[in-house]
Structure 1
Amino acid sequence: MKRNVLIIGAGGVAHVVAHKCAQNNALLGDIHIASRTLAKCHAIIESVHDKGSLHMPGLLQAHQLDAMDIEATKFLIRATRCQIVINVGSPFVNMSVLQACIETGAAYMDTAIHEDPAKVCETPPWYANYEWKRLDACKRAGVTAILGIGFDPGVVNAYGRYAMDTYFDQVDSIDIIDVNAGSHGRYFATNFDPETNFREFTSTVWSWENGAWKANAMFERKKEWDLPVTGKSTTYLTGHDELHSMSRNLGVPDIRFWMGFGEHYINVFTVLKNLGLLSEHPVRTARGQEIVPLEVVKAVLPDPASLAPGYTGKTCIGDLVKGTKDGKPQEVLIYNICDHEEAYKEVGSQAISYTAGVPAVAAAMLIADGTWDMGGMVNVEELDPAPLISLMNRMGLVTRARHGTEDYVVEPQMAIAEQVSCDKVASMG
């Protein structure tokens, strides 16, 4: 049993994580939020109180922290007696926070792959360049580290594993599809950190095809999908975190990631890129100041968290899995629909942050009760997906499957102990 949670970061996803931890503090215990900007932590705490999210009276505290400072992070983990760290800060801090957890014994999780500020779209498998180098250290220390437990990466990894285990004898392909059919009403904005968002799309697009890595340019390959609720949407082949672990762990020859983009987004992105404004490399201005163009673009764009009040529409994210069962072709779409307005009503966020934050808290709860506390480093597809899917069904992210002519809520069969745990969580609200 592990208790007390340290949330690192104070952006849109951290906002959701704090609310969901508060809703389940009977299990998770004290909640601490740490960021370089203390005012953002206090704003999240105020929101939690305003929404009445705390399930029971408990500690909810803000801290100022530079998470790149390993010693300072270790000190805060020990001072707060936190046994679970949810890292939803910049992907630049992953390795520092992970190291602090290894040295203090706290469980670690994040929602995105580590990034080096000077590098973009690294050679696959990307995890091998950073996190996987700490596999042995985690095992020796008995530290649980769950990598990429947002929605994508995260839930889509679990969906791939669940589909393979439930519906197929053999899987030939997994197409991960992410469509945001919502509208924020701004001229241009990104749904999560602009710097992270743009860095994903400015270099080589890597996909896993025919059991090997294939390189494409961004917006080079597109495909239209007809999805539940959001309807027909044009998507583009995009490189993404989950491909770098699923390609190794699932044994599936084709794994691709498709993201929906409108023409307006593509046009603005193309102009910014062609002008050099999405570069991560410093330039010197006429006044002699050294600036990073991408950081300037981030500074002038709307804060993704500010989009929530006026956001309308829904998202659809899922895995279209194809293969065979009993010698016959089989196709299953396992997916989630999330409503921007409902997310805002519940926790004051838009659906993009909601879908990333809820799974991280579900994972923290599964670590807290011992279900996922395995004492080593794993990617999500290496874990039993049943308890995660069942918990999310009760926490606001319902999983559905479109299988032939049927479309239904997925309720995984679980061991008795896991079902009791999920029922206990449900009773906590």
Structure 2
Amino acid sequence: MKPNVLIIGAGGVAQVTAHKCAQWAAEFGALHMASRTRAKADAIAEGIRAKGLEAVITTHALDAMDSAAVAELIRATEAGIVINVGSAFINMTVLQGCIDTGAAYIDTAIHEDPGKVCETPPWYANYEWQRREACEAAGVTAILGAGFDPGVVNAYARLAEDEYFDKIDSIDIVDINAGSHGRWFATNFDPEINFREFTGAVYSWQGGEWRENEMFEVGREWDLPVVGKQTAYLSGHDEVHSLSARYKDADVRFWMGFGPHYINVFTVLKNLGLLSEQPVTTAEGQQVVPLKLVKAVLPDPASLAPDYTGKTCIGDLVKGTRDGKPGEVFIYNVADHKDAYNEVGSQGISYTAGVPPVAAAILIARGPWAVKRMANVEDLPARPFLELLGEMGLPTRVIDAEGDRAI
């Protein structure tokens, strides 16, 4: 029997996830979508109908911060798989709802506490990993970080482990968005989550220990396929916190591309205190969280899609040895913003994040990833995931000693 699917969230990534579930509806039973504001889910469902897709998505209102309410909706929809593409603030309550009901769980980022920024590494150990035993006892499949980064880049590391190296020495994940949205300033996904990634310490795993830097302290130029030469900065990111556990003897770093304008605006906002997650009181006695105020005045990331042009390039440069000989591979994907908009009405950043959790759901439904325990993406076979993503619009390419080719 094919599992019913419940998608939680109704932002830009959720829109992609819902469209892909509808495109691949033959893999699933009934499709459901829930959001705190049901009208947002209704708008996505209507957009899917406007694309001529026959799949029906039933929408629901849900306070996903309430694990009992999550469990109640899972039971009401008889969902066998829950795809959490809402805010990272709801991970633990949605996960608990899945543990309580036996539904499989998929997310795309580490849980975040709204009152904390930049937690002690390894971040997963503070939250999701504490429920490993509960998942296994309940026989619940929980796939963590199944977006692109984290997610697909974790699978790239696993592919390098499985097919290229006996020993991995370093994993450098590079994320470049060479596109343009035409706005004076905007973030490509939830501004609150986006800024929280870069306001604290930058953690990397090097020399068998955690290293700490400041944001924009360490940068280097990368010459990448399609997007060419781009400057990227050492940044803290989710996947470093899990990959460092599997590849303890390797250096694991994450690099993200930023232009001078983004860095300048970010620096001004941070220095003014406008990126703080801590509430302040105005002269009128109103309590305001500065970061939430900044989020409120910036463009909705979903609104960027119609005008977005250009491409992204995200990949892993992995170095290691095989049969005692050193080597390196670059495993990557290039996505096009306009192609993403034409297909699902979203920009490329949302597209790369929203397709992979659907691939994970399909692999759970088919069986290969129905592991009945908690796992990060690198703990699972990579090739079936990457080959399926190629069919779904996110093809993987590899540059090695033999050239540049599809996997």
TM-score by length of 1: 0.94
User: CA–CA distance in 1 between the matches of 2:249 and 2:390?
Assistant: 27
User: CA–CA distance in 2 between the matches of 1:138 and 1:73?
Assistant: 16
User: CA–CA distance in 2 between the matches of 1:277 and 1:109?
Assistant: 32
- Matched with 2:365 is 368
Deviation track 1:172-221 (CA, whole Å, cap 9, x = no partner) reads 10000000000000000000000000000001000000111000000000
TM-superposed CA distance for 1:30, in Å, is: 1.2
User: CA–CA distance in 2 between the matches of 1:397 and 1:251?
Assistant: 29
Query: What is the letter of the counterpart of residue 240 of structure 1?
Result: H
TM-superposed CA distance for 1:108, in Å, is: 0.2
Query: What is the letter of the counterpart of residue 9 of structure 1?
Result: G
User: CA–CA distance in 2 between the matches of 1:218 and 1:309?
Assistant: 31
TM-superposed CA distance for 1:370, in Å, is: 1.0
- Matched with 1:251 is 248
Preserved contact between residue 311 and residue 350 of structure 1 (Cα < 8 Å): yes
Preserved contact between residue 175 and residue 256 of structure 1 (Cα < 8 Å): yes
Matched ranges for 1:28-427 at <5 A: 28-54=28-54, 58-404=55-401, 406-410=403-407
- Matched with 1:13 is 13
Moved more, 165-174 or 392-401: 165-174
TM-superposed CA distance for 1:38, in Å, is: 1.1
Preserved contact between residue 174 and residue 319 of structure 1 (Cα < 8 Å): yes
User: CA–CA distance in 2 between the matches of 1:166 and 1:354?
Assistant: 27
Instruction: Give SS of 2:120's match.
Output: coil
User: CA–CA distance in 1 between the matches of 2:74 and 2:368?
Assistant: 22
Q: Which ranges in structure 2 are unaligned for 5 or more consecutive residues? A: none
Preserved contact between residue 161 and residue 250 of structure 1 (Cα < 8 Å): no
Preserved contact between residue 322 and residue 330 of structure 1 (Cα < 8 Å): yes
User: CA–CA distance in 2 between the matches of 1:239 and 1:269?
Assistant: 16
Deviation track 1:297-336 (CA, whole Å, cap 9, x = no partner) reads 0000000011000100000000000112232220100000
Instruction: Give SS of 1:213's match.
Output: strand
Instruction: Give SS of 2:357's match.
Output: helix
Preserved contact between residue 168 and residue 247 of structure 2 (Cα < 8 Å): no
User: CA–CA distance in 1 between the matches of 2:56 and 2:44?
Assistant: 14
Deviation track 1:222-259 (CA, whole Å, cap 9, x = no partner) reads 01100000000000000000011110013342000000
Deviation track 1:106-127 (CA, whole Å, cap 9, x = no partner) reads 0001000000011111000000
Instruction: Give SS of 2:385's match.
Output: helix
Instruction: Give SS of 1:242's match.
Output: helix
Q: Which ranges in structure 1 are unaligned for 5 or more consecutive residues? A: 411-429
Instruction: Give SS of 1:118's match.
Output: coil
Preserved contact between residue 20 and residue 53 of structure 1 (Cα < 8 Å): no
Instruction: Give SS of 2:397's match.
Output: strand
User: CA–CA distance in 1 between the matches of 2:32 and 2:247?
Assistant: 36
Q: CA RMSD in A?
A: 0.9
User: CA–CA distance in 1 between the matches of 2:317 and 2:250?
Assistant: 14
TM-superposed CA distance for 1:347, in Å, is: 0.5
Preserved contact between residue 336 and residue 400 of structure 1 (Cα < 8 Å): yes
Query: What is the letter of the counterpart of residue 180 of structure 1?
Result: N
Change (3 A) 1:105 1:2: farther
TM-superposed CA distance for 1:346, in Å, is: 0.5
TM-superposed CA distance for 1:405, in Å, is: 5.1
User: CA–CA distance in 2 between the matches of 1:326 and 1:140?
Assistant: 40
Preserved contact between residue 10 and residue 44 of structure 1 (Cα < 8 Å): yes
- Matched with 1:415 is none
Indicate the percent of aligned positions where both proteins have the same amino acid: 68
Query: What is the letter of the counterpart of residue 84 of structure 1?
Result: I
Preserved contact between residue 10 and residue 35 of structure 2 (Cα < 8 Å): yes
User: CA–CA distance in 2 between the matches of 1:216 and 1:87?
Assistant: 31
Preserved contact between residue 225 and residue 234 of structure 1 (Cα < 8 Å): yes
Deviation track 1:40-91 (CA, whole Å, cap 9, x = no partner) reads 101100111111234xxx4311111110111111111111111100001110
TM-superposed CA distance for 1:353, in Å, is: 0.4
User: CA–CA distance in 2 between the matches of 1:398 and 1:176?
Assistant: 17
Instruction: Give SS of 1:319's match.
Output: strand
Deviation track 1:364-411 (CA, whole Å, cap 9, x = no partner) reads 00001111001000000000001101100100000000113510001x
User: CA–CA distance in 2 between the matches of 1:404 and 1:216?
Assistant: 33
Preserved contact between residue 139 and residue 373 of structure 2 (Cα < 8 Å): yes
User: CA–CA distance in 2 between the matches of 1:250 and 1:350?
Assistant: 33
- Matched with 1:422 is none
Query: What is the letter of the counterpart of residue 145 of structure 1?
Result: A
TM-score by length of 2: 0.99
| Large movers: runs of 4+ above 3 Å | none
Count, aligned residues: 407
User: CA–CA distance in 1 between the matches of 2:321 and 2:194?
Assistant: 36
Query: What is the letter of the counterpart of residue 17 of structure 1?
Result: T
